[in-house]
Amino acid sequence: MDPDISDLTRALDIADGYLTLRMWEHAWNTIEDAPSHWKNHPDALRRRIDALTGLEEWGKAHALAYDVVSIFPMRADLWQRLARLQAREGDFRGARESVAKCIELRDDMRVEIAHDDMLAGIW
């Protein structure tokens, strides 16, 4: 494995641990401390969105999610994050459109979306 890739993998694993423990700032800082050229990797950006969501930095999380799906439009997980934030802000139409895009890209996400509490009110 490329040592550079292992640095990213290690940072993502550590960030995931912090996210699981609801240690949002630590998760954010883990990605911040990753090698600079990995900070804009879609997997790192997803962790940033999750950390901002956990910190209840709704506006920042929404802006980042919106930017990220425009850069990586083929990532279903990123569309799901955007949908969650749109629902949180009361943009149910936008959330439904983002969910549709997510499912279009990965039909297997239907189950996860059906059990996502943040998306429950959009239907």
- Name the DSSP class of 34: S
Same domain, 50 and 82: no
Question: What's residue 1's pLDDT?
Answer: 47
Q: Please indicate, yes or no, if residue 102 is contained in any of the structural domains.
A: yes
**Coil, helix or strand for 22?**
coil
pTM: 0.91
Q: Please indicate, yes or no, if residue 63 is contained in any of the structural domains.
A: no
Alpha-helical segments (H) within 21-116: 24-32, 42-54, 58-71, 76-88, 92-105, 110-114
Count of domains for the chain: 2
Question: What's residue 123's pLDDT?
Answer: 79
Exposed e or buried b for every residue in 38-53, given b needs 16+ CB within 10 A?
beebebbbbbbbbbbb
Same domain, 5 and 49: yes
- Domain extent, residue 33, equals 1-56
pLDDT 10s per residue in the chain (123 long)? 455 668 889 999 999 999 999 999 999 999 998 888 888 999 999 999 999 999 999 999 999 999 999 999 999 999 999 999 999 999 999 999 999 999 999 999 999 999 999 998 897
Q: Please indicate, yes or no, if residue 5 is contained in any of the structural domains.
A: yes
Structural Rg of the chain based on CA atoms:
14
